[in-house]
Amino acid sequence: MPLAALWLGISLVAAVMLDIGLLLFFLPYTYIYHWAYDSVRASVTRSRCEF
C-alpha cells in the first residue's frame, strides 16, 4: 500500500480508501458476472443435451 500511494502521489489514507473502493466495486461485480456466466452456460448445456 505505501508503494502504491507513493507511486500515485497520494496519501496513505487516500490509497487505503481507493483500495476499499475497488474492493467494494469488484466483489459484487465478480459475483454477478460468475452467476450470469453459470446461468448462461447451464442454459446452453441443457439445450445441447436435448438433441
**Alpha carbon 20 to its chain's center:** 12
- Return all residues near 5 (Cβ < 8 A) that are at least 6 apart: 11, 12, 14, 15
pLDDT at 51 over 70: no
Cα gap 17→25, rounded to integer Å? 12
2-26 per-position pLDDT tens digit: 898 999 999 999 999 999 999 999 9
Comparing CA positions, the residue from 41, 37, 40 lying closest to residue 29 is 37
| Contact present, 2 and 16 (Cβ < 8 Å) | no
| pTM for the predicted model, two decimal places | 0.65
